[in-house]
Structure 1
Amino acid sequence: MLGAARIRQIAGKVAAVARPAGCACLILVMLAPAARSNPAAGPATDQVLVAVAARVVGDENRVRVVLEFQQEPVFAIRYLTAPDRAVIELPETVFAFEKSALTGRGLVSEVRYGAAGAGRARIVLDLSKPARLELAQTAEEASGALHRLVFDAVTVDEGVFQDQVAETVWTPLDGGEIEQVRAGDASDTLNIVIDPGHGGIDGGAEGPAGTMEKNVTLAFAEAFKEALEAEGGIRASLTRTEDKFLSLSARVRMARDADADLLLSLHADSIRIKSLRGATVYTLSDKASDAMAQALADQENAAEEIVGAKLDGAAEGVAAILVDLARTETRVFSTGLAQQVINSFEGQVRLINNPHRHAGFRVLQAPDVPSVLVELGYLSNRDDEEMLNDEDWQKKTAELLAQSVVKYRQTILAGRK
């Protein structure tokens, strides 16, 4: 397991966080999914930090980063190359400020932040030049309500920066031993839920020769599961193994109940442009990337209405906070997998132009499970219909898709080190 259950545990601790200075409003916090971190990677405590404010000021030679917390923070700093980065490691942290408060400026070209594994969070500062991060100030407000950290990023010679990278050795602040991460450890297992789209009364798209989408997706899902099981360190299951109807909210719930690290939904839709063929990879967004993505999302989301199903309260809540989800690592991990799929398919499987697209697909709305929808092809195209029914094509494409998941897992494990 690479961490989904842990994220929900953390979210439970901090589901409602009061803003400082007596504000009565509550913040609903959705934490980001990530791989279980090596204990050597930075500080971890039982306390969940709440970062309530942040700002970045400065120029090309010196930048100040100010962070304010509701609790006294424990932190560590490390440096990485390719590209040059300074990393502030923190315990579990809720970032309860606007995303625009912590953005790149001058010497710090970009800022990213989020969960970095069980018990940890991370702020990554991309550097436009070699730099050193100096602790300029730690302070507590007179009221004791807030704790402030102030870091100054200042330019240094390339040689000095490389020395900083070389000298970065991580020992847990609590004195624990460094854990060696080995491929094949049970905790390294990536748990993926494969979702064959449609089923039962919901047949999905139908090709010119009568091929039903629900049958194509199930056949491919079985081939994909077999390909994944041939790889080490991956556990795969299906949302359905027979021709039966499942609501979209039920599919999301099954992935969450399984503590899935990934949900991959398979489809083969029809589209008005009959000449269009090839695979497309979709991730979640509150705003569609284009009209075609919006049309397909509307088409897929309509599956709930076939039997009068209604999106359950949890999923409605997710829909209401799509903008917040877009700010979390969930979106980053989903996008990372989508790119791995495209990389594996390129030159091997036909792709449409701009193959990574996004829209508000309900089946992708699990807040703590990175999720991707793969359109294998379009049944509205006769050539794609024939291809989708070809067992050799299914086997080859399933193996390529499995390789993308393997590479995704390797990326996650590498992030622990």
Structure 2
Amino acid sequence: MSRTGRLLLGASLLAGGLLLNVPAAVAAEPGPLLAFAARIAGDDARTRVVVEFDRKPEFSLHYVADPVRVVVDLPETAFGLKADSLEPRGLFDAIRYGGMGAGNSRIVLSAKGPVAVTHAEVVAEEGGKGYRLVLDAERVDQARFDALLGEQQWTGSVAAAKTDRPVAVAPTREGGPFIIAIDAGHGGIDTGALAGETKTEEKHVTLAFAKDLVEALNKGAGIEAFLTRDKDVFLSLPQRVQIARNKGAHLFISLHADALRQKDIRGATVYTISDKASDHLAASLAARENLSDEIAGVPLQSEPAEVADILIDLTRRETQAFSVNMARAVVTSFEGQINLINNPHRFAGFRVLQAPDVPSILLELGFLSNKEDEKLLLDPEWRKKVSERLAVAVQRYREQAIASGG
């Protein structure tokens, strides 16, 4: 039954006095909030942001430094806003909004410098037409902003629980299934790249492909593939890594479809982690991908202490060797079948590839900035073909990994 139908039924039952015995949890199904309009006005001294909702929103407000951001946390919200309604201006040079998972949503206001929200309230619209959230911000000095940071009782942490179970870099002959984590890049508030005229969002492209890939992989004998995210939700980079480790993954594949200023560049690229980037393109892509948590308003976390341990460092070296083997298997499987960029195996410091004990690759399927690539990325038949070639590469890598694992 549609939402309208449920509301009409509820009104009918109420009129007949029949709602008295209906549990409150059943009677009330409000669904997500709807943010249906927004506007921003101001200058480099003061800026006002207004967002209109269909129902009264509960909200909390926090600050994040390096760079300065104002984070507004909301219950699950559907953002039905016009694309230009929150074009940044005044104190803010970027504004993003979207889901954060677990029934939460977020608005992130990236500021040009230290700011303070001097007024924040929810106001009922006249005639019962909804509510508006009003935020007034003003420029402040660094000392006052530092004081605001120190006063708030909020860390913004969304890190996944750590696992105490060791994960083998390679499966043994007698082991169970070969477990693969398929990570659809971006999600929720972090849309990833946007195609030019079509405004295709990278987060939807990667999820659609990830689902096809899991299906193709699970047809293979001895393989168990799973998604780090199965819907449009935000996961921090540490969460993605830890989900793979918690599930005992033997391989982690992160999927992306970036956009470049050079619209003539196209083709797939396979990346492995390295302290030094192979080239300028790899370095710039890694820098952008590593901004995912910043975009979502998540404070950057320091590396866990265990990563500095010498034994973990030795494990990482072995992990890197396996990651390179997987990258080579992908390139070999794609050659002559799937369009590849020049020098298709590259490396850089991608944070999502940092698991010390899970071989990991990041696969740029193509570039949304290139019209030919975009068409392919949206083509179900092409996705199926690429998934099948990846499944071949995984099986080849698996055989090598089992042999190496004894």
- Whether TM exceeds 0.5 here: the answer is yes
Cα 1:10–1:251, aligned 2, differ >3 Å: closer, same or farther?
closer
- Residue-by-residue CA offset, 1:242-289 (whole Å, 9 max, x unaligned): 011111111011111111111100000001211000000000001111
Answer yes or no: is 1:352 the counterpart of 2:330. Answer: no
Displacement of 1:402 in angstroms is 1.1
Describe the SS at the equivalent of 1:310: coil
Q: Which residue of 2 aligns with 1:332?
A: 321
Q: Which residue of 1 aligns with 2:275?
A: 286
Contact 1:188 1:413 in 2 (8 A): no
1:10-159 → structure 2 map (5 Å cutoff) = 33-36=169-172
Are the counterparts in 1 of residues 187 and 233 from structure 2 also a CA contact under 8 Å? yes
Alpha-carbon distance in 2 for matches of 1:320, 1:199: 32
Aligned length: 243
Q: What percent of counterpart residues are identical?
A: 53
Alignment of 1:167-178 (within 5 A): none
| 1:312 Cα deviation from its structure 2 partner | 3.5
**1:197-236 residue pairs with structure 2 within 5 A?**
197-208=185-196, 209-236=198-225
Answer whether contact 2:277 2:347 (CA < 8 A) is retained. yes
CA-to-aligned-CA distance 1:47-104 (integer Å, 9 cap, x gap): xxxxxxxxxxxxxxxxxxxxxxxxxxxxxxxxxxxxxxxxxxxxxxxxxxxxxxxxxx
* Residue identity opposite 1:248 in structure 2: L
2:246 and 2:405 mapped to 1: Cα distance? 25
Secondary structure of the corresponding residue to residue 394 of structure 1: helix
Note the alpha carbon deviations across 1:187-244, whole angstroms, 9 max, x for none.
Answer: 2411000000000111100112221100100000000000001111000110111011
> Does the aligned pair in 1 maintain the 2:171–2:178 contact within 8 Å?
no
Once residues 313 and 348 of structure 2 are traced to their aligned partners in structure 1, the CA distance between those partners, rounded to angstroms, is: 15
Which residue number in structure 1 is paired with residue 284 of structure 2? 295
Partners of 2:170 and 2:371 lie apart in 1 by 41
- So what's the TM-score if we normalise by structure 2? 0.56
Q: Which residue of 2 is the match for residue 191 of structure 1?
A: 179
Structure 1 CA distance for aligned equivalents of residues 310 and 188 of structure 2: 31
Q: Which amino acid aligns with 1:197?
A: G
- Gap change, CA 1:207 and 1:322, over 3 Å in 2: farther
Could you tell me which amino acid in structure 2 is paired with residue 205 of structure 1? A
| Pairing partner for 2:332 from 332, 337, 343 | 343
Is the alpha carbon distance of 1:346 and 1:316 closer, same or farther for their aligned partners in structure 2, counting shifts above 3 Å? farther
In the other structure, the counterpart of 1:241 is: 230
The 3 A distance-change label for structure 1 pair 274 and 256 is same
C-alpha distance in 2, partners of 1:376/1:311? 27
Task: Tell me if the contact between 2:181 and 2:249 (Cα under 8 Å) persists in the aligned partners.
Answer: yes
**Cα pair distance change 1:409/1:272, threshold 3 Å:** same
Contact 1:285-1:326 at 8 Å conserved across structures: no
- The alignment partner of 1:412 has SS state of helix
From the superposition, tell whether residues 316 and 200 of structure 1 become closer, same or farther in structure 2 (CA, over 3 Å).
Answer: farther
Pick which of 321-330 and 288-297 moved more. Answer: 321-330
- Residue pair 1:205, 1:269 contacting (<8 A) in 2 also: yes
Q: 1:327 to 1:232 in 2, by over 3 A?
A: closer
Deviations 1:297-353 (A, max 9, x none): 000000110122134444586489899469621000000100001111000000001
Which of 248, 254, 261 is the equivalent residue of 1:272?
261
Q: Which residue of 2 aligns with 1:95?
A: none
Paired position in structure 1 for 2:43: none
| CA–CA distance in structure 2, aligned partners of residues 336 and 367 of structure 1 | 16
- For 1:376 and 1:220, the matched residues in 2 are separated by 9
User: In the aligned structure 1, how far is the partner of 2:270 from the partner of 2:400?
Assistant: 19
- The answer as to whether partners of 1:196 and 1:267 remain within 8 angstroms in 2 is yes
Task: Say which SS state the counterpart of residue 291 (structure 2) adopts.
Answer: helix
Does the CA contact (< 8 Å) of 1:249 and 1:311 recur in 2? no
Counterpart secondary structure, 1:355: strand
Which residue does 1:404 correspond to in 2? 393
Q: TM-score, normalising length from structure 1? A: 0.55
Residue pairs, 1:257-268, within 5 angstroms: 257-268=246-257
Specify the code of the residue in structure 2 equivalent to 1:380.
Answer: S
